[in-house]
């Protein structure tokens, strides 16, 4: 499903974010990317949704060679992926419902489809009661649920999560992880960058550890270290 | 259908959010396009005025009011026999007086001060070669004949009106071009501000896979609407120029030639369509530059 082959990414100023990274991720897997800040976790994710392009090496996602992807087809490519971030990236002038609906609207979904799907997704993330609230009326955990709902709205094959629990307390984080686990069980491949040790240890899923841009560990049922 | 509604809604909410800058852009477009239009009208008017003149007569040999009959006959003989004269029309003292009375109908004192006997009779002459050089050469020849008071050529007047209108329309055009550039920049800036106000939304749109054109179109629509609304405001100004300024020249007695200073029926409407096209294009280009430079999609 996802394959990286000798991928190297160097940022301006000779900062090497990833060096000769090779990895393969199967459909339906749940993968933790761990490592210290600056180890290249975010770059790994940004390469997968083609926000960045590698300086050398090859990346395949869903059978597509990303180096051959034309820039005009990148938006369509991204529709097969959901992204979740530490800072949620919600629109504060829109309600919970509108935030999720917006993601469908801007990829050209019709209003009937939106009216049918958004309530179902809000039900999945447990926010049906709060559909008409605005993001600043919600707790951090609830905001992250909205963000996950938005990422999942288009039923993506792959979900990329960059420190989704980074701003949340441990008990709220557990709820978010349960939600991501639920999404994974519905068939979506989940790749999550984190340095939350207790989450990684309790989930017992595949762990890829990066250290200064190099894969130093790849275990199928791993713990944080 | 949903998409059209989306574009419409986004565009107008953005205009509403950014109203003062939008108004500035629209008014700048309006003023610059009004100048473009005025310059087109003046140019067309001048072309008409001088064209009318060229079709017709116009060099005029004025005889002395007390010219002897043989002097008059000598002129007439030259006119009748010369191969370079296509035709001519004799205005006698009675005709001249009549014309004078018509011209100064609102000034009875002036009319009372003259009588047919003091009016100079004249020959209005159509030369077979109406070029300026030829006319002035002929005029010189007639001016030196006995009994001739003076020779008025149209070329001088034509040159004056040409000069005048060329200068006016050029000055207007230069000002207009500068202002059109200014309004394009202002539209660019307005759209840039609109993009800034929606930076978060744009980020999310890119994230979830909205296409580049889907993101661009509301902004380009916004710029195009600035241009079109500005042009729409400039159109009444065109009618004012036509009805007031050009009409003022037409009614003025000071320079009789200016009476031909008019644009044909429908010209103002044609010009209006041009203004809408120019306005829309300027708006679209301004916003296209803003979108490609600042949108990063």
Domain boundaries, chain B: 2-50+159-295, 59-154
- A36: CB partners within 8 A, 6+ apart: A195, A211
Name the residue with tokens 């200068």.
Answer: B167
Could you tell me if B128 and B97 are in contact, meaning their C-beta atoms sit under 8 angstroms apart?
no
DSSP code, position A223: -
As a whole number of angstroms, the distance between CA A3 and CA A17 comes to: 18
Task: Kindly determine whether residue B210 and residue A107, on different chains, have CB atoms separated by under 8 Å.
Answer: yes
> Is A154 within 8 Å of chain B by CB?
yes
> Is A110 within 8 Å of chain B by CB?
yes
pLDDT at A84 over 90: yes
As a whole number of angstroms, the distance between CA B251 and CA B265 comes to: 18
More confident position, B279 or B131: B279
As a whole number of angstroms, the distance between CA A155 and CA A18 comes to: 29
Fold topology of B59-154: Alpha-Beta Plaits (3.30.70)
Q: What's the whole-number mean pLDDT along residues B242-267?
A: 68
pLDDT at B81 over 60: yes
Contacts of B205 in chain A (CB under 8 A): 106
Count CB atoms within 10 A of the CB of residue B214. 19
> Is A134 within 8 Å of chain B by CB?
no
pLDDT at residue B294, as a whole number: 77
From A72, A92, A103, residue closest to B208, measured CB to CB: A103
From A91, A92, A105, residue closest to B6, measured CB to CB: A105
pLDDT at residue A59, as a whole number: 96
Read off the pLDDT of residues B185-229 as tens digits, 9 standing for 90 and up: 989 988 898 888 888 889 999 999 999 888 999 999 999 999 999
What does the mean pLDDT of chain B come to? 81
B187: nearest Cα among B125, B229, B137:
B229
Categorize the per-residue pLDDT at A157 as very low, low, confident or very high, splitting at 50, 70 and 90.
very high
Q: Per the structure block, which two tokens stand in for B93?
A: 């003292």
More confident position, B250 or A182: A182
Rg over alpha carbons for chain B, rounded to the nearest Å, is 30
pLDDT at residue A177, as a whole number: 95
Categorize the per-residue pLDDT at B58 as very low, low, confident or very high, splitting at 50, 70 and 90.
low
Torsion from C-alpha of A55, A195, A189, B203, nearest 10 degrees:
-60
From B3, B201, B212, residue closest to A108, measured CB to CB: B3
B45: nearest Cα among B243, B276, B275:
B243
As a whole number of angstroms, the distance between CA B12 and CA B4 comes to: 12
Categorize the per-residue pLDDT at B55 as very low, low, confident or very high, splitting at 50, 70 and 90.
very low
pLDDT at B109 over 80: no
More confident position, B209 or B252: B209
Could you tell me if B97 and B56 are in contact, meaning their C-beta atoms sit under 8 angstroms apart?
no
Could you tell me if B215 and B297 are in contact, meaning their C-beta atoms sit under 8 angstroms apart?
yes
What does the mean pLDDT of chain A come to? 93
pLDDT at residue B108, as a whole number: 74
SS3 B10: helix
Query: If you measure CA to CA, which chain A residue comes closest to B203?
Result: A89
As a whole number of angstroms, the distance between CA B170 and CA B79 comes to: 41
Task: Kindly determine whether residue B200 and residue A110, on different chains, have CB atoms separated by under 8 Å.
Answer: no
Task: Kindly determine whether residue A78 and residue B201, on different chains, have CB atoms separated by under 8 Å.
Answer: no
Read off the pLDDT of residues A164-174 as tens digits, 9 standing for 90 and up: 999 999 999 99
pLDDT at residue B198, as a whole number: 86
In angstroms, what CA-CA distances link B151 with B74, B115, B238?
A: 16, 22, 39
Q: Per the structure block, which two tokens stand in for A164?
A: 């989704």
As a whole number of angstroms, the distance between CA A210 and CA B83 comes to: 104
pTM: 0.71
Categorize the per-residue pLDDT at B51 as very low, low, confident or very high, splitting at 50, 70 and 90.
low
ipTM over 0.85: yes
Task: Kindly determine whether residue B201 and residue A79, on different chains, have CB atoms separated by under 8 Å.
Answer: no
pLDDT at residue B258, as a whole number: 59
pLDDT at residue A27, as a whole number: 94
SS3 A2: strand
Could you tell me if A183 and A198 are in contact, meaning their C-beta atoms sit under 8 angstroms apart?
no
User: How many percent of chain A have pLDDT more than 70?
Assistant: 100
As a whole number of angstroms, the distance between CA B282 and CA A223 comes to: 61
Contacts of A75 in chain B (CB under 8 A): 206, 209-212, 214
Could you tell me if A89 and B207 are in contact, meaning their C-beta atoms sit under 8 angstroms apart?
yes
Contacts of A91 in chain B (CB under 8 A): 200-201, 204
Q: Which helix (H) or strand (E) element contains residue B85?
A: strand B85-91
Mutate to test the interface with A, among B7, B206, B208 (most CBs of A within 10 A): B208
Q: Per the structure block, which two tokens stand in for A223?
A: 């713990």
Classify the phi-psi angles of A68: left when phi > 0, otherwise alpha if psi is within -120 to 50, otherwise beta: alpha
SS3 A93: coil
In angstroms, the separation between the Cα of residue A106 and the nearest Cα of chain B is 5
pLDDT at residue A115, as a whole number: 94
pLDDT at B52 over 70: no
Could you tell me if A39 and A46 are in contact, meaning their C-beta atoms sit under 8 angstroms apart?
no
Per-residue HEC secondary structure of chain A comes to: CEEEEEEEEEECCCEEEEEEEEEEECCCCEEEEECCCCCCHHHHHHHHCCCCCCCEEEEEECCEEHHHCCHHHHHHHHCCEEEEECCCCCCCCCCHHHHHHHHHHCCCCCHHHHHHHHHHHHHHHCCHHHCCCCHHHCCHHHHHHHHHHHHHCCCCCEEEEECCCCCCCHHHHHHHHHHHHHHHHCCCEEEEECCCHHHHHHHCCEEEEEECCEEEEEECCCCCC
Task: Kindly determine whether residue A83 and residue B207, on different chains, have CB atoms separated by under 8 Å.
Answer: yes
* A/B interface, count of CB pairs below 8 Å: 56
As a whole number of angstroms, the distance between CA B146 and CA B71 comes to: 6
Task: Kindly determine whether residue B211 and residue A76, on different chains, have CB atoms separated by under 8 Å.
Answer: yes
Could you tell me if B124 and B89 are in contact, meaning their C-beta atoms sit under 8 angstroms apart?
yes
Q: At what angle do helices B19-55 and B154-197 cross, to 10 degrees?
A: 160
């Amino acid at each position: 499903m996802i394959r990286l082959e000798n991928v190297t990414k160097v940022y301006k100023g000779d900062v090497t974010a990833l060096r000769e990274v090779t990895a393969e991720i199967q459909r339906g897997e749940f993968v933790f990317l761990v490592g210290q800040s600056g180890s290249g976790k975010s770059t790994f994710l940004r390469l997968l949704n083609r926000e960045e392009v590698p300086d050398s090496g090859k990346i395949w996602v869903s059978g597509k060679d990303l180096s051959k992807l034309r820039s005009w087809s990148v938006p369509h490519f991204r529709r097969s992926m959901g992204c979740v971030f530490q800072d949620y990236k919600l629109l504060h002038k829109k309600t919970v419902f509108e935030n999720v609906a917006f993601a469908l609207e801007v990829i050209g979904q019709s209003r009937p489809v939106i009216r049918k799907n958004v309530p179902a997704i809000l039900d999945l993330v447990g926010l049906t009661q709060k559909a008409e609230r605005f993001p600043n009326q919600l707790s951090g955990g609830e905001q992250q649920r909205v963000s996950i709902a938005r990422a999942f709205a288009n039923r993506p094959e792959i979900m990329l999560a960059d420190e989704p629990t980074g701003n949340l307390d441990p008990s709220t984080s557990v709820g978010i992880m349960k939600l991501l686990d639920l999404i994974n069980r519905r068939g979506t491949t989940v790749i999550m960058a984190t340095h939350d040790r207790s989450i990684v240890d309790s989930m017992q899923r595949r762990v890829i550890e990066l250290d200064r841009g190099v894969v130093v560990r790849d275990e199928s049922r791993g713990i944080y270290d | 259908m949903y998409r059209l509604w989306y574009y419409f809604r986004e565009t107008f909410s953005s205009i509403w959010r950014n109203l003062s800058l939008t108004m500035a852009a629209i008014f700048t477009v309006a003023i610059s396009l009004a100048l473009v239009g005025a310059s087109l009208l003046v140019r067309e008017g001048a072309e008409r005025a001088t064209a009318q003149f060229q079709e017709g007569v116009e060099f005029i040999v004025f005889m002395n009011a007390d010219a002897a009959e043989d002097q008059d006959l000598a002129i007439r003989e030259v006119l009748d026999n010369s191969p370079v004269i296509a035709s001519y029309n004799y205005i006698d003292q009675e005709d001249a007086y009549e014309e004078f009375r018509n011209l100064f109908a609102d000034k009875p004192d002036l009319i009372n001060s003259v009588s047919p006997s003091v009016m100079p009779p004249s020959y209005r002459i159509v030369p077979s070669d109406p070029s300026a050089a030829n006319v002035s050469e002929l005029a010189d020849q007639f001016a030196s004949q006995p009994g001739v008071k003076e020779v008025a050529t149209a070329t001088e007047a034509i040159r004056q009106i040409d000069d005048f209108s060329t200068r006016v329309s050029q000055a207007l055009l230069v000002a207009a071009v500068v202002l059109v550039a200014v309004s394009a920049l202002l539209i660019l800036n307005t759209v840039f501000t609109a993009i800034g106000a929606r930076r978060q939304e744009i980020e999310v749109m890119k994230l979830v896979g909205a296409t580049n054109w889907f993101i661009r179109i509301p902004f380009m629509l916004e710029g195009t609407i600035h241009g079109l609304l500005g042009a729409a405001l400039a159109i009444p100004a065109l009618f004012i120029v036509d009805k007031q300024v050009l009409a003022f020249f037409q009614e003025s007695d000071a320079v009789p030639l200016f009476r031909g200073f008019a644009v044909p029926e429908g010209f103002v409407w044609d010009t209006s369509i041009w203004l809408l096209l120019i306005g829309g294009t300027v708006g679209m280009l301004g916003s296209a530059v803003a979108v490609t430079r600042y949108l990063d999609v």
